[in-house]
């Protein structure tokens, strides 16, 4: 494994001898050893002038002037002063990792005030001054950087670290900064599904420019890219890597591998592995959040190959890295050599002493384009990446890049992603196989019931609130949230923890008054979107983001003639449908770009309120009633193919249709003639355009006095359906391939 390291200031002979011997001198706290560096006095310095500032730097440091259009690579593994903004297409070698004392100075906003901060975990200094931006790295001698800054009249950097504990996410908390009216809702974080991909990828020291990636997206077979988001040994300045870059490339179709390059075992840097791992994980999560990666996204630690003598601290470090990431709500990935770090993880896989990463990134340079590495076995780490070559240069679309080649086997985590609520519903399936349902009883009282595997249904309980609308429940990742219209016409939220205990109740007064709705969905990153038709017949939207809280309300469309129907599909797509002007089907959508489209008329006549369901593959189906009660209508769309329909599926409907997806099949149910539940289903796989629908049939259950509703989420091969019987009692039954279970009376 190639590694480029620069010697510490005035310690070249010692450092080079240590590297040649297979390890470097063990580091202790860098501030504590700073005094061993010779002060950068006038006798051993030279003046560097740039943008009106004068810096005294060590005489032996080269000065690289990038303002003259010189192509190359800003490398923080060498003592140097770089002047000017790095180029968009830096010619950096692959597999660079390691830093020493080095400085990059470039133009900045003239209005900037002087701010000097230090990230002690990443060993990086950032300075903003009028007209100037400065980035510096250090290894064992941060005092050298302090002296260079002081020579230009800049203060000693103030250490800043990631917060040890995130603020609690309170679904019922109402921020005071919002008042009545329209407020722009920020783009949600990118969902963890943007890492799901099987095929060729590559990783580089510096994130490529968007132009280079466009050329490779058109001409190459590569669709995934590894990017270094931070770390003490991050060699390249990552001038291209911004939140806008991450979102744009994800929206363009690239799947992203967030890497973190921190302390290394092979350099003897793991002097306190557990503490260093926790600090690295905190910093990695802070950088991931800044770039827009949602919780549950795997973050990969780059632990380069190391000598067997370092296996104990390396395992302690990787284990603590995993535990801390899990505590912070992210998944853990580890990159290492197949002959050291990966081999050690395999040997201790079944040991309870070490926490194992969720994803393995195996550097075995055998040139095989496959994620099936024999040493990993067949049952371990179903999500894995194989780095099959360490250094490669290829050209596509006239763009040459040097990289390390990867093959990804990142199959979608269907068990996790499908547990989230992809369509509005009063009932949700839980990850443990249970189901929780909310419904309105007499006097508009809200009731709750729960099914637990092996125990069956519990006794229904009143939750102590009144709802002036049907409830809309979602799985949040750690519990259940229920949204409904309160007596005042305001949006209210009731939340429960995973064990079923009530967690909180609040009124989201900032969202204004509700006309029809609400309808809520949740995504695997923990984002919750809520939609409703306001009293002004407009479509309104509120959004809850973990770590940021509520934002909204945001006005999205006008002239709604029905309540909205909302669905979330993969990757990171949300769509809302309604009956609008001209009795037509209308929609609005948001993808990975985070921007909402303009309201779009699909030019399909809608005889009633549309209802939608979505697939994990990104497909969406919408259903509504034809003119009068005649015929179930369907429209369907898939990414890149546009919308098709309407198609008449037949039947006589006395209610709005209920579509639901379970185990890859779509079922549509409705209240039919004779107060029975009628249904049709499509089980022919992903090709929804095929004639795979069954004829509408009647479910011979009990007398039904209301439209049915169902629980969504999870991997159920059965669909749990609910309806109101005589006297307002609540009933349930399951549907599996046109076979109904015996109905159960819940109340």
CA dist 224 and 522 (Å) reads 26
Tokens found for residue 296 = 């549950």
Give me the pLDDT at residue 692, please. Answer: 79
A 10 A CB-CB count for 538 gives 17
∠ Cα 463 466 470 (to 5°): 95
* Helices (H), ranges, 141-242: 142-151, 210-219
Picking from 266, 261, 263, the residue whose alpha carbon sits closest to that of residue 275 is: 263
Q: How many residues does the chain have?
A: 747
Higher pLDDT, 505 or 628: 505
Which of 21-30, 116-125, 151-160, 409-418 is least confident? 21-30
Mean pLDDT, range 68-73, rounded to an integer: 62
Within 8 A by CB and 6+ apart from 500, the residues are: 436, 450
Within 8 A by CB and 6+ apart from 388, the residues are: 364, 365, 366, 367, 368, 369, 370, 405, 406, 407
Distances (CA, A) of 439 to 279, 434, 467, 485, 724: 46, 17, 9, 13, 10
pLDDT band at 4 (very low <50, low <70, confident <90, very high): very low
CA dist 338 and 386 (Å) reads 10
Within 8 A by CB and 6+ apart from 668, the residues are: 623, 632, 649, 657, 658, 659, 660, 679, 680, 681
CA dist 569 and 632 (Å) reads 23
b/e per residue, 486-521, with b = 16+ CB within 10 A? beeebbbbbbbeeeeeebeebebebbbbbbbbbbbb
Helix axes 243-252, 273-291, angle to 10 degrees: 70
A 10 A CB-CB count for 327 gives 14
Give me the pLDDT at residue 43, please. Answer: 61
Percentage of the chain surpassing pLDDT 90? 65
Contact 298, 224 (CB under 8 A): no
b/e per residue, 24-42, with b = 16+ CB within 10 A? bbebeebeebbeebeebee
Task: Please return the burial class of 415, using the count of CB atoms within 10 Å of its CB with bins 0-12, 13-18 and 19+.
Answer: exposed
* Residues 479-518: tens digit of each pLDDT: 999 999 999 999 999 999 988 889 889 999 889 999 999 9
Which of 162-166, 332-336, 544-548 is least confident? 162-166
* Residues 408-464: tens digit of each pLDDT: 998 877 666 677 899 999 999 998 889 999 999 989 999 999 999 999 999 999 999
Tokens found for residue 319 = 């284990």
Give the 3-state secondary structure of residue 277: helix
CA dist 720 and 737 (Å) reads 12
Contact 212, 237 (CB under 8 A): no
CA dist 46 and 574 (Å) reads 58
Q: What is the DSSP string of 641-678?
A: TEEEEEEE---B-SS--EEEEETTEEEEEEE-GGG-EE
How does strand 255-260 pair with strand 45-50?
A: unpaired
∠ Cα 56 57 63 (to 5°): 120
For the chain, list the domains and their CATH numbers.
12-159 (no CATH), 164-189+413-556 (2.120.10.70), 192-411 (3.20.20.80)
Mean pLDDT, range 91-113, rounded to an integer: 87
Give me the pLDDT at residue 14, please. Answer: 27
The single-letter DSSP state of residue 69 is: T
Question: What pTM, to 2 d.p., does this model score?
Answer: 0.88
Higher pLDDT, 171 or 228: 228
CA dist 235 and 512 (Å) reads 50
Helix axes 273-291, 311-327, angle to 10 degrees: 40
* Residues 244-299: tens digit of each pLDDT: 999 999 999 999 999 999 999 998 999 999 999 999 999 999 999 999 999 999 99
Which of 68-77, 531-540, 669-678 is least confident? 68-77
pLDDT band at 372 (very low <50, low <70, confident <90, very high): confident
pLDDT band at 169 (very low <50, low <70, confident <90, very high): low
| pLDDT of 32 above 50 | no
Q: How many helical (H) and strand (E) elements, i.e. helices and strands, does the chain have? A: 8, 46
CA dist 571 and 568 (Å) reads 9
Q: What are the start-end ranges of the E strands in 27-122?
A: 45-50, 53-58, 63-65, 81-83, 102-107, 115-119
CA dist 181 and 30 (Å) reads 52
A 10 A CB-CB count for 60 gives 12
SS (H, E, C) 676-726: CEEEEEECCCCCCCCCCECCCEEECCCCCCCCCEEEECCCCCCEEEEEECH
Give the 3-state secondary structure of residue 456: strand
Give me the pLDDT at residue 88, please. Answer: 73
Contact 632, 680 (CB under 8 A): yes
CA dist 585 and 647 (Å) reads 13
| pLDDT of 28 above 80 | no
First-to-last C-alpha distance (Å) of the chain: 66
Tokens found for residue 248 = 């744009």
* Residues 648-697: tens digit of each pLDDT: 999 999 999 999 988 778 999 999 988 999 999 887 554 455 467 889 99
Tokens found for residue 729 = 């009692």
* Residues 580-591: tens digit of each pLDDT: 988 899 999 999
| pLDDT of 120 above 80 | yes
Give me the pLDDT at residue 539, please. Answer: 97
Helix axes 210-219, 243-252, angle to 10 degrees: 10
Mean pLDDT, range 325-344, rounded to an integer: 94
Within 8 A by CB and 6+ apart from 163, the residues are: 282, 286
Within 8 A by CB and 6+ apart from 241, the residues are: 207, 227, 228, 229, 291
Cα-atom radius of gyration of the chain, to the nearest Å? 29
Within 8 A by CB and 6+ apart from 451, the residues are: 434, 435, 436, 457, 458, 720
Give me the pLDDT at residue 178, please. Answer: 52
Please enumerate, as own/partner, the contacts of 687-695 that have beta carbons within 8 Å and a separation of 24 or more.
688/619, 688/621, 688/636, 688/638, 689/636, 689/644, 693/649, 694/738, 695/650
């Amino acid at each position: 494994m190639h590694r480029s390291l620069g010697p510490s200031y005035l310690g070249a002979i010692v450092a080079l001898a240590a590297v040649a011997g297979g390890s470097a001198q063990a580091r202790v706290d860098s501030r504590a050893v700073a005094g061993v560096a010779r002060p950068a006095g006038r006798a051993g310095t030279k003046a560097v002038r740039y943008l009106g500032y004068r810096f005294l730097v060590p005489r032996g440091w080269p000065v690289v002037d990038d303002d003259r259009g010189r192509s190359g690579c800003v490398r923080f593994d060498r003592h140097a002063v770089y002047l000017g903004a790095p180029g968009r297409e830096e010619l950096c070698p692959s597999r660079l990792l390691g830093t020493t004392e080095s400085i990059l100075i470039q133009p900045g906003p003239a209005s900037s005030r002087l701010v000097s901060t230090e990230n002690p975990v990443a060993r990086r200094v950032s300075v903003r001054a009028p007209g100037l931006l400065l980035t510096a790295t250090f290894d064992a001698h941060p005092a050298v950087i302090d002296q260079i800054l002081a020579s230009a009249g800049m203060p000693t950097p103030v250490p800043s670290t990631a917060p040890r504990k995130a603020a609690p996410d309170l679904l019922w908390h109402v921020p005071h900064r919002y008042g009545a009216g329209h407020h722009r809702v920020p783009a949600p974080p990118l969902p963890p599904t943007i890492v799901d991909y099987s095929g060729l990828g590559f990783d580089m020291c510096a994130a490529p420019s968007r132009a280079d990636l466009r050329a490779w997206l058109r001409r190459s077979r590569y669709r995934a890219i590894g990017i270094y988001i931070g770390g003490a040994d991050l060699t390249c300045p990552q001038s291209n890597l911004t939140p806008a870059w991450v979102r744009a490339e994800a929206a363009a179709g690239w799947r992203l591998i967030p890497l973190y390059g921190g302390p290394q075992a092979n350099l003897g840097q793991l002097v306190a592995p557990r503490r260093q791992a926790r600090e690295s994980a905190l910093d990695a999560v802070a950088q991931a959040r800044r770039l827009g990666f949602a919780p549950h996204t795997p973050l990969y630690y780059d632990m380069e190959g190391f000598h067997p003598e370092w296996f104990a601290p390396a395992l302690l470090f990787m284990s603590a890295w995993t535990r801390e990431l899990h505590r912070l709500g992210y998944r853990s990935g580890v990159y290492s050599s197949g002959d050291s770090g990966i081999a050690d993880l395999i040997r201790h896989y079944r040991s309870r002493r070490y926490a194992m990463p969720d994803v393995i990134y195996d550097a075995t340079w055998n040139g095989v384009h496959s994620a099936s590495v024999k040493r990993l076995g067949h049952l371990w780490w179903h999500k894995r990446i194989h780095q099959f070559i360490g250094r490669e240069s290829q050209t596509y679309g006239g763009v040459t890049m040097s990289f390390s080649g990867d093959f990804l086997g990142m199959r979608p985590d269907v068990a996790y992603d499908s547990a989230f609520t992809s369509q509005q519903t009063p009932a949700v399936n839980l990850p443990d196989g249970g189901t929780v349902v909310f419904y309105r009883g007499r006097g508009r009282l809200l009731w709750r019931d729960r099914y637990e595997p092996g125990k069956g249904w519990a006794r229904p309980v009143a939750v102590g609130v009144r709802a002036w609308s049907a409830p809309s429940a979602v799985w949040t990742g750690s519990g259940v949230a229920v949204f409904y219209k309160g007596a005042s016409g305001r949006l209210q939220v009731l939340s429960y923890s995973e064990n079923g205990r009530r967690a909180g109740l609040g009124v989201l007064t900032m969202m204004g008054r509700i006309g029809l709705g609400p309808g809520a969905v949740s995504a695997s990153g923990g984002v919750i979107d809520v939609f409703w038709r306001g009293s002004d017949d407009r479509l309104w939207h509120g959004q809850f983001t973990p770590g940021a809280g509520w934002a909204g309300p945001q006005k999205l469309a006008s002239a709604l003639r029905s309540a909205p129907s909302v669905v979330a599909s993969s990757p990171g797509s949300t769509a809302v449908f309604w009956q609008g002007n001209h009795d037509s089907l209308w929609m609005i959508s948001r993808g990975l770009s985070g921007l909402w489209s303009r309201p779009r008329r699909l030019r399909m006549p809608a005889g009633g309120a549309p209802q939608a369901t979505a697939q994990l593959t990104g497909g969406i189906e919408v259903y509504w009633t034809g003119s009068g009660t005649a015929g179930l209508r369907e429209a369907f769309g898939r990414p890149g193919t546009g919308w098709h329909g309407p198609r008449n599926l037949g039947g006589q409907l006395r209610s709005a249709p209920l579509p639901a997806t379970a185990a890859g099949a779509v079922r549509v149910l409705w209240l039919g003639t004779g107060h029975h539940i009628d249904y049709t289903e499509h089980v022919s796989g992903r090709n929804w355009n095929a004639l795979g629908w069954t004829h509408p049939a009647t479910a011979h259950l009990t007398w039904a006095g209301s439209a049915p509703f169902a629980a969504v989420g999870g991997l159920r091969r059965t669909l749990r359906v609910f309806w109101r019987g005589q006297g307002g009692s609540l009933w349930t039954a399951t549907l599996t391939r046109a076979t109904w279970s015996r109905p159960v009376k819940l109340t």
